[in-house]
């Protein structure tokens, strides 16, 4: 077995048989679950708050704080929902985590649920993760058989039931209120906030929705304490984070690194730099919904604050490397088509704006752009930004604004020359040998 792939979540990730409860236990899993469940729930919230753990799904909201919003005294049942809809283009970390280490997620969910008093949990998987559902269902059955789930979790007085729920193809269901709509059996469209899910979520009951990676951090944080977690990362972005790196780097893949690591270090050292003959032109650092960074800004540290300062977002950790043979207009055309396809249709700006931008991008890329088109795109993006019902509209608008900010010349070129700036169209690129 080679060196560990990461300091924490990826330390043992490739251990053979880890999907089984025995191997997970051998590595220390579930060992202190019973003891942790004996402690007062508020303690867990305090420890997680102190650890500074922030949501790993994209928004980066402090996890302990989110849990603390759940009303203590309520007659209603409470729910914990794991957002395993992993749909943000460029992101494929949760899939590997669940595929290889399902019990850590289960343990994390038991502990999170205990912290704010949920007795039922659901793992909402994107529809394509049917095979992961099989893995998780088997692990849940093992945990149940071992007395870790059910009426008395790990011998404690805590009751927790856990089910998987398979989506069926809708990016929007990664938005937490849309996810809850979908889980309840409605079309997966977002709902009004407030009320926030912590107060009125699933079945109008208090609900916490946490990302897979977030929840998988929980067992070790509670076992080892906040300072242990804070050995990595920055003050405001503690811990490690898994980044999915895609594009023509030498070694694309999922990497667990301490937050605050410069993006260039991730690309050059962990991913082995670019493939031969490719040069980086821009990087989308946090999944397709965030503004891209030009090659000149690759030294930006990978943490929430630095990314915001650089005009983009850490997001979900989906790092998409765009090389210099790729036309930015074409790359954006691809992404905007994605958002048009995934817009749920509920609100006007997102529904109509993504369609409109998609049409304009297609025309621009085809060399049929007009002088006013570039400003029009900027204007349409601005008319979506902050005016749509949920963040999907913003997610479509921000990359356009980022691209216009850093690569306006490429857009203008398309209009002026009535053709794509890149000599070889990306679709004509030779396949890079794996």
Partner 1 sequence: MSVPAPMAPAPPLVALEPPLAWPAHLKSAVDEALSHYPVKRSAILPVLWIAQREWGWLSPAALKLAARTVELPEPEVFGIATFYTMFNLKPVGKYHLQVCMTLSCSLMGGERIYRHLAGKLGVGHRETTPDGRFTLSRVECLAACAGAPCLQVNDDYHERVDEAAVDRLLEQLP
Partner 2 sequence: MSAAPDTLVRVTIDGRAVQVPPGTLVTDAARRAEVAIPIFCSHAKLPPLGACRICLVEIGLPKRGRDGAPVLGADGAPEIAWMPKPQTACTTPVAEGMVVATASAGATRARQGVMEFLLVNHPLDCPVCDEGGECQLQDLAFAFGHDASRMDEPKRTFVSESLGPIVKKEANRCIVCMRCVRYCDEVMGEDALTAHQRGVHTEISSFDRQPLACEQCGNCVEVCPVGALTALPYRFRARPWDLRQHVTICPWCSNGCSVRLGVRGSEILRARGTERRGVNQEFLCVRGRFGYEFVNHPERLGAPLIRVGGQLQPAGFEEAVTFAAGGLQAIARRHGPQAIAFLGGENLNVEEQYLFQKLARAVLGTNHVDARTRHTAPVTGDAVLRATGGGRPAPTFEQLVRAEEALVLFEDLQAEGPLAQASLIRGQHQHGVHLTVAHARRVKLARAKFGGAWLAVRAGGELALVHALTRAVLDERARHPEPAPLDPAHAAALATLARALPAVAESEAATGVAADQVMEAGRRLLAATRKAIVFGRNTAQHPEAQALLQAIENLGWASGAITAGRSSVMFLGAKHDSQGALDMGLVPDRLPGYVPLADRDHYGAAWGATLPGEPGLTAPEILRAAADGRIRALWIAGDHWLRSAPDRALAERALANAELVIVSEMFLTSTARAAHVVFPAAAFAEKEGVTVNCERRPQRTARAVAPRPGARPDWQIFQAVARALGAAWNHRTAEDVYREIARLVPGYRGTSWATLVPLGSPWAFEPARVVAPAFAASHDGAPPAGEGLWLLAGGMLFLQGSLSHRTEILPQLAHEPRAWLHPAEAARLGAIEGAPVELHGPSGRITLRLGLDDAVPEGGVFVPDAQVGVELNRLGSPSGAGLRVRVQPAGARAAAPSAAERA
Mark 176-195 with x for binding to partner 2 (rule: CB under 8 A) and - for no binding.
-----------x----x---
With CB under 8 A as the contact rule, the residue among 19, 63, 83, 87 that binds partner 1 is 87
Within 271-300, the residues that bind partner 1 by CB under 8 A are: 284, 288
Q: Which is nearer to partner 1, 92 or 257 (CB)?
A: 92
Q: Which is nearer to partner 2, 162 or 374 (CB)?
A: 374
Number of residues that bind partner 1 (CB under 8 A): 63
Q: Which is nearer to partner 2, 189 or 254 (CB)?
A: 189
CA distance 261 to 282: 18
Contacts of 163 (CB under 8 A, 6+ apart): 120, 121, 122, 123, 140
Binding of residue 349 to partner 2 (CB under 8 A) = yes
β-bridge partners, 117: none
With CB under 8 A as the contact rule, the residue among 32, 128, 305, 382 that binds partner 1 is 128
Of 12-20, 82-90, 148-156, 298-306, the segment contacting partner 1 by CB under 8 A is 82-90
Binding of residue 260 to partner 1 (CB under 8 A) = no
CA distance 64 to 74: 19
Copy the structure tokens of residue 335.
Answer: 């992404």
Q: Are 289 and 399 in contact (CB under 8 A)?
A: yes
Contacts of 227 (CB under 8 A, 6+ apart): none
The 3-state DSSP class for residue 322 equals: strand
Binding of residue 88 to partner 1 (CB under 8 A) = yes
CA distance 412 to 374: 7
Q: Which is nearer to partner 1, 69 or 186 (CB)?
A: 186
Binding of residue 184 to partner 1 (CB under 8 A) = yes
Contacts of 402 (CB under 8 A, 6+ apart): 290, 291, 292, 311, 312
Q: Residue 57: what are its φ and ψ, rounded to 5°?
A: -85, -20
Q: Quick one: what does residue 383 bind among partner 2, partner 1, none, with the CB cut-off 5 to 8 Å set by partner type?
A: partner 2
Return the residue matching tokens 């708050």: 49
Judged by the rule CB under 8 A, the positions of this chain that interact with partner 1 are: 77, 86-92, 94-95, 122, 126-131, 163, 165-171, 182-188, 203, 244-248, 252-254, 284, 288, 318, 320-323, 326, 331, 334-335, 338, 341-342, 344, 426-427, 429, 431-434
């Amino acid at each position: 077995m080679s060196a560990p792939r990461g300091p924490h979540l990826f330390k043992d990730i490739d251990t053979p048989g880890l999907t089984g409860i025995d191997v997970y236990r051998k590595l220390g899993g579930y060992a202190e679950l019973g003891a942790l469940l004996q402690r007062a729930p508020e303690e867990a919230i305090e420890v997680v708050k102190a650890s500074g753990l922030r949501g790993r799904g994209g928004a980066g909201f402090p996890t302990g704080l989110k849990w603390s919003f759940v009303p203590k005294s309520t007659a209603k049942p409470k729910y914990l929902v794991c957002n395993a809809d992993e749909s943000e283009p460029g992101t494929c970390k949760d899939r590997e985590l669940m595929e290889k280490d399902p019990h850590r997620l289960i343990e994390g969910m038991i502990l999170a649920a205990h912290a704010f008093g949920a007795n039922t949990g659901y793992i909402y998987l994107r529809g394509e993760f049917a095979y992961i559902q099989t893995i998780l269902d088997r692990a849940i059955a093992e945990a149940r058989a071992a007395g870790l789930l059910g009426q008395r979790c790990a011998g404690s007085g805590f009751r927790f039931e856990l089910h998987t729920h398979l989506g069926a193809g809708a990016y929007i269901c990664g938005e937490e209120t849309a996810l809850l709509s979908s889980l309840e059996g409605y079309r997966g469209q977002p709902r009004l906030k407030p009320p926030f899910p912590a107060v009125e979520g699933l079945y109008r009951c208090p609900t916490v929705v946490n990302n897979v990676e977030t929840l998988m951090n929980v067992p070790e944080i509670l076992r080892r304490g906040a300072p242990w977690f804070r050995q990595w990362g920055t003050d405001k972005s503690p811990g490690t984070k898994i980044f999915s790196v895609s594009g023509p780097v030498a070694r694309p893949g999922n990497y667990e690194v301490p937050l605050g690591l410069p993006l260039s270090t991730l690309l050059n050292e962990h991913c082995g730099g670019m493939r031969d003959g490719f040069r980086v032109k821009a990087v989308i650092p946090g999944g397709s919904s965030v503004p891209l960074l030009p090659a000149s800004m690759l030294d930006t540290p990978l943490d929430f604050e630095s990314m915001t300062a650089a005009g983009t977002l850490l997001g979900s950790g989906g790092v998409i490397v765009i090389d210099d043979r790729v036309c930015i207009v074409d790359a954006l055309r691809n992404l905007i088509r994605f958002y048009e396809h995934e817009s749920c249709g509920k609100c006007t700006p997102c529904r109509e704006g993504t369609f409109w931008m998609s049409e304009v991008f297609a025309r621009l890329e085809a060399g049929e752009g007009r002088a006013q088109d570039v400003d029009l795109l900027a204007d349409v993006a601005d008319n979506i930004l902050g005016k749509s019902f949920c963040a999907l509209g913003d997610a479509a608008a921000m990359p356009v604004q980022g691209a216009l900010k850093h690569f306006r010349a490429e857009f203008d070129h398309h209009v002026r020359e009535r053709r794509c700036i890149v000599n070889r169209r990306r679709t004509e690129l030779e396949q890079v040998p794996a």
